[in-house]
Amino acid sequence: MMLFNKKNMLKEIVATFDDAVKIGVTPDREMWNYVLKVSIFLSAVLITDSLIKARARDPLELFETVDAMRQAGHELNATSYRIIMQHHAEARNMLMCLRTLQEMKDAAIAPDILTVETLVTTACQEFLPRLGHALAVDYEQKSARRLTLTTWTKILASSAHGYYVGLAFCPSLQAF
């Protein structure tokens, strides 16, 4: 499944998962994470089918897979949450990103650097540089790892954009 994932062969991941279950192999958490990724991105592969087109990027697929994973006895881990966060970030749904982050904190799972960078980037894309900055600072205070300069540059660019737009549309700020 790892090879199929690297080659982005999503249909093959599903087929392998189904075949493994049929022959009696109990899926582990890593296999479920691959299926979780597929449940998000497979609709993009099958977009030519008119029935699938209506469900493209449907979060229901994601939540059904998460429920199936939990029913199989596997709780979400940092990788699972990263996949979910990337799904919400691509949809530019900052509220669901923050909800996912809260779920991680409630489950005492620390986000990895890729998850935090995705969250900060989404905040900056949604013109919320203060939120992105607060998330970045919070992560760096709690972790031994540091965010990349690219992530900090995105925060700076978003802040500068917000300041410029504020000057253009609010004459009272031009006095400063």
The encoded tokens of residue 165 equal: 């737009």
pLDDT recorded at residue 59: 66
pTM equals 0.71
Task: Report the C-alpha gap between 27 and 131 in whole angstroms.
Answer: 38
Q: For the residues 66-85, what does the mean pLDDT come to?
A: 86
Q: For the residues 117-143, what does the mean pLDDT come to?
A: 93
Higher pLDDT pick, 54 / 121: 121
Q: Indicate if the pLDDT at residue 12 is higher than 80.
A: no
Residue spans of alpha helices (H) in 23-112: 29-45, 50-53, 59-71, 78-90, 94-106
pLDDT recorded at residue 123: 94
pLDDT recorded at residue 52: 33
Contact criterion met (CB below 8 Å) for 143 and 135? no
Residue 175 DSSP code: G
Instruction: Judge residue 87's burial from the number of C-beta atoms within 10 Å of its C-beta, 0-12 exposed, 13-18 middle, 19 or more buried.
Output: buried
